[in-house]
Amino acid sequence: MEKVGNHNSNSRKLFLSLALMLSISVASFAQDAAPAADATAATAAAPAASSGGDAAKGKELFNANCAACHKLDAKSTGPALRGVSGKHDMAWIYKWVHNSSDLIKSGDAAAVKLFEENNKIPMTAFPQLSEGDIDNIIAYTSEPKAEAAAPAPGQQLPGTPNGQEAGVSNNVILGALSLVMAILIVMLVLVNRVLRKVAAANGIEVAKKEPSLPIWKAFVKNQFLVLVSTIFLLLVGAYMVYGYLMQVGVDQNYEPIQPIHYSHRIHAGDNEINCKYCHSASRVSKTAGIPSLNVCMNCHKTISEVAETTATPEYSKAFYDEQIQKLYKAVGWDATTQSYTGKQEPVKWVRIHNLPDFVYFNHSQHVTTAGIECQTCHGPVQEFEIMKQFSPLTMGWCINCHRKTDVKMEGNEYYAKIHEELSKKYGVDKLTAAQMGGLECGKCHY
Ligand code: HEC
Ligand code: HEC
Ligand code: HEC
Ligand code: HEC
Ligand code: HEC
Ligand code: HEC
């Protein structure tokens, strides 16, 4: 009876440790949730004080008319407009917005000073805006700045695939699980001992096993089995070595971290920027080329931050904005003065696609002459958050496509003639790249 009691107390321990494990992991989840709730409370508490006009209407008008040159909190083409009502009286602002050039010409001291300070860039005149409209805009610009929503501590840090918190609670669970395993092992040993004691007390003899021939000795004695398994092992080995060797130098899915987190999804996907706008060389030359940073600045002189909606659960707005700042640092662009400082640090993009030196591959031949979409070879780039090598770039890959793909004949006099001759020779209607000579070693190998 006493032994049974002992047994029970062990299972009680098991239940206790399970309960302990559960409560620990629940507590760590609660920790995750608490700061997030604080953060939402803080943003909700931001006061929405405004005087006169309707800030919501003002926001619309501001975005439609003024946002091209003004931001609320940072200098753009024009100065930052938050709190501008404190700098001038409303009558002056009406006149300024209706026609700033007139005001400057009239010799108004404040207007002239402002004009000179801003590199004498004239502001568009807005005679169509009523004083009520301007009141609304000014009400919008007078709203206090919303506290930048600091990333809640529980939120994943941008770019780090595993949040810290998740790691901690995983460790707790793992620890608890190994504790449970240890307890189970101890329990088994105890039960074994108790059973042996009971058996000994009752005079039952626990049968000892007859020593039989070990299995490996039996195996070695059977020569046929040895032969078959050796052949089998050799075949498997050869297959694996062959597979391994065929992968040497094939970098499919190579996805390095770039110095600037540049997203093709945002540029070529969401904003539908044409591949050839940036990789313009692909139309006319062997290489497609990586765009110089001047090309980026065509847009990024005015785009210094991403929209709220661009952020994803994985990458926050703050993370993306920081990447644009990296671009500014590299080209030496000072966003506050809207001018180049002249201090440049070239960005060292990591090259992804790279054929061996003995292969000749020409982009213009495929992109312009053959009219093949970039995506056929590079995959759905417009969906890649991080660029990677989509195709294997092996010789078999090139050859297969040359065998399958028809040459584009229409609208090309040169091909019309060749087509006539070759189609007679092959007795076909359509010609593949292979039939045009796309399998000749010398076409691809120097
Ligand atoms: C084409 C660009 C442009 C647009 C559009 C524009 N502004 Fe301006 N704004 C400027 C510039 C540049 C200045 C600085 C003075 C100068 O150089 O003329 C300025 C100055 C101002 C100032 C004075 C700021 C200060 O710090 O004293 C106010 C107020 C202002 N703008 C309001 C507006 C409003 C309201 C709208 C929209 C209805 C608007 N602006 C649209 C370019 C623009
Ligand atoms: C706004 C400019 C821009 C546009 C538009 C753009 N790219 Fe890129 N592309 C880049 C930059 C910058 C890099 C280098 C950074 C990187 O690898 O992510 C790059 C890298 C690449 C690479 C890898 C180069 C290497 O190192 O091997 C490929 C392939 C590529 N782009 C294809 C495309 C395709 C296809 C499209 C259209 C769907 C496209 N790009 C649109 C700027 C652009
Ligand atoms: C044709 C205009 C255009 C060009 C050219 C352009 N961008 Fe952008 N870029 C954008 C737009 C639009 C956004 C997104 C804004 C948004 O979503 O709110 C953006 C966002 C970004 C971001 C933040 C999101 C991300 O991808 O990480 C970075 C960094 C960036 N661009 C870098 C570059 C670099 C580097 C180049 C040059 C190779 C470049 N851009 C060229 C228009 C452009
Ligand atoms: C027929 C397949 C094919 C097509 C179509 C194709 N590419 Fe490529 N691309 C390649 C191969 C192969 C490489 C590796 C070239 C090398 O290492 O010399 C490459 C390399 C690149 C590179 C990096 C190296 C370089 O040449 O600068 C960029 C960027 C690139 N491609 C962009 C594009 C764009 C943009 C398009 C569409 C306009 C496009 N590619 C169309 C096969 C293709
Ligand atoms: C998506 C299909 C496709 C892939 C992949 C492809 N090619 Fe091609 N290639 C073509 C087509 C189509 C033509 C015919 C172009 C034309 O002249 O109209 C061509 C033409 C060529 C030519 C010129 C052949 C001639 O007769 O003058 C060379 C060289 C070439 N490709 C090399 C390569 C190499 C190297 C690779 C691999 C790295 C490759 N191609 C991958 C479709 C492809
Ligand atoms: C359509 C283009 C193309 C043609 C035609 C072509 N090759 Fe290749 N070849 C390649 C490419 C691309 C590679 C590089 C493959 C890699 O890096 O994995 C390659 C690699 C090789 C290699 C190195 C071994 C390897 O797999 O990396 C040899 C050898 C070779 N080719 C021989 C030939 C011979 C011989 C012919 C003519 C019968 C020929 N090639 C025709 C594109 C071609």
pLDDT of residue 200: 87
pLDDT of residue 8: 45
Q: Which one of the ligands is nearest to 60 CA?
A: 1
Q: How far apart are CA 143 and CA 82, in angstroms?
A: 8
Instruction: Give 329 Cα–ligand 1 centroid separation in angstroms.
Output: 27
Q: Which of 43-52, 303-312, 340-349 has the lowest mean pLDDT?
A: 43-52
Does residue 167 line the site of ligand 4, with CB under 6 A?
Answer: no
pLDDT of residue 124: 86
Q: Which one of the ligands is nearest to 71 CA?
A: 1
pLDDT of residue 156: 41
Question: Which of 205-209, 217-221, 406-410: highest mean pLDDT?
Answer: 217-221
Which CATH fold topology does 55-141 show? Cytochrome Bc1 Complex; Chain D, domain 2 (1.10.760)
Q: How far apart are CA 98 and CA 127, in angstroms?
A: 4
- Is the confidence at residue 206, as pLDDT, over 90? no
Tokens encoding 155: 């939120």
- Residue with the smallest CA separation from ligand 6 atom 32 is 441
Q: Kindly report the three-state secondary structure assignment for every residue of the chain.
A: CHHHHHHHHHHHHHHHHHHHHHHHHHHHHHHHHHHHHHHHHHHHHCCCCCCCCCHHHHHHHHHHHHCCCCCCCCCCCCCCCCCHHHCCCHHHHHHHHHCHHHHHHCCCHHHHHHHHHCCCCCCCCCCCCCHHHHHHHHHHHCCCCCCCCCCCCCCCCCCCCCCHHHHHHHHHHHHHHHHHHHHHHHHHHHHHHHHHHHHHHCCCCCCCCCCCCCHHHHHHHCHHHHHHHHHHHHHHHHHHHHHHHHHCCCCCCCCCCCCCCCCHHHHHHHCCCCHHHHCHHHHCCCCCCCCCHHHHHHHHCCCCCCCHHHCCCCCCHHHHHHHHHHHHHHHCEECCCCEECCCCCCCCCCCCCCCCCCECCCHHHHHHHCCCCHHHHHCCHHHCCCCCCCCCCCHHHHHHHHHHCECCCCCCHHHHHHHHHHHHHHCCCCCECHHHHHCCHHHHEC
pLDDT of residue 168: 66
Q: Which one of the ligands is nearest to 64 CA?
A: 1
pLDDT of residue 186: 96
Instruction: Give 383 Cα–ligand 5 centroid separation in angstroms.
Output: 25
Q: How far apart are CA 75 and CA 118, in angstroms?
A: 10
pLDDT of residue 193: 93
Does residue 330 line the site of ligand 2, with CB under 6 A?
Answer: no
Does residue 306 line the site of ligand 1, with CB under 6 A?
Answer: no
Does residue 405 line the site of ligand 2, with CB under 6 A?
Answer: no
- Is the confidence at residue 22, as pLDDT, over 80? no
Instruction: Give 154 Cα–ligand 6 centroid separation in angstroms.
Output: 52
- Is the confidence at residue 19, as pLDDT, over 90? no
Instruction: Give 318 Cα–ligand 2 centroid separation in angstroms.
Output: 23
pLDDT of residue 147: 61
Instruction: Give 326 Cα–ligand 1 centroid separation in angstroms.
Output: 28
Atom of ligand 4 minimally distant from the CA of 275 = 35
pLDDT of residue 315: 92
- Residue with the smallest CA separation from ligand 6 atom 16 is 394
Does residue 436 line the site of ligand 5, with CB under 6 A?
Answer: yes
Instruction: Give 308 Cα–ligand 3 centroid separation in angstroms.
Output: 14
- Is the confidence at residue 83, as pLDDT, over 90? no
Pocket mutation for ligand 3, best pick of 275, 303, 333 (most atoms within 8 Å of C-beta): 303
Give, to the nearest 10 degrees, the angle between helix 2-45 and helix 164-201: 170
pLDDT in tens, 85-139: 888 989 999 999 998 888 888 888 888 888 888 878 888 888 888 999 999 999 9
Binning pLDDT at 50, 70 and 90, where does residue 76 land? confident
Pocket mutation for ligand 3, best pick of 257, 267, 301 (most atoms within 8 Å of C-beta): 267
Atom of ligand 4 minimally distant from the CA of 289 = 27
pLDDT of residue 64: 85
Instruction: Give 157 Cα–ligand 3 centroid separation in angstroms.
Output: 21
Q: Which of 433, 436, 359 is nearest to 399 (CA)?
A: 433
Does residue 82 line the site of ligand 2, with CB under 6 A?
Answer: no
Instruction: Give 109 Cα–ligand 1 centroid separation in angstroms.
Output: 16
The pTM assigned to this predicted structure is 0.67
pLDDT of residue 194: 93
pLDDT of residue 67: 85
Binning pLDDT at 50, 70 and 90, where does residue 27 land? very low
pLDDT in tens, 358-410: 999 999 989 988 889 999 999 999 999 999 999 999 999 999 999 998 887 77
Does residue 171 line the site of ligand 4, with CB under 6 A?
Answer: no
What is the average per-residue pLDDT within 304-323? 91
Q: Which one of the ligands is nearest to 121 CA?
A: 1
Does residue 303 line the site of ligand 3, with CB under 6 A?
Answer: yes
Average pLDDT over the chain, rounded to whole?
81
Does residue 438 line the site of ligand 5, with CB under 6 A?
Answer: yes
Which residues have CB under 8 Å from 131's CB, separation 6+?
94
- Is the confidence at residue 303, as pLDDT, over 80? yes
Q: Which one of the ligands is nearest to 258 CA?
A: 2
Does residue 296 line the site of ligand 3, with CB under 6 A?
Answer: yes
What is the average per-residue pLDDT within 16-26? 45
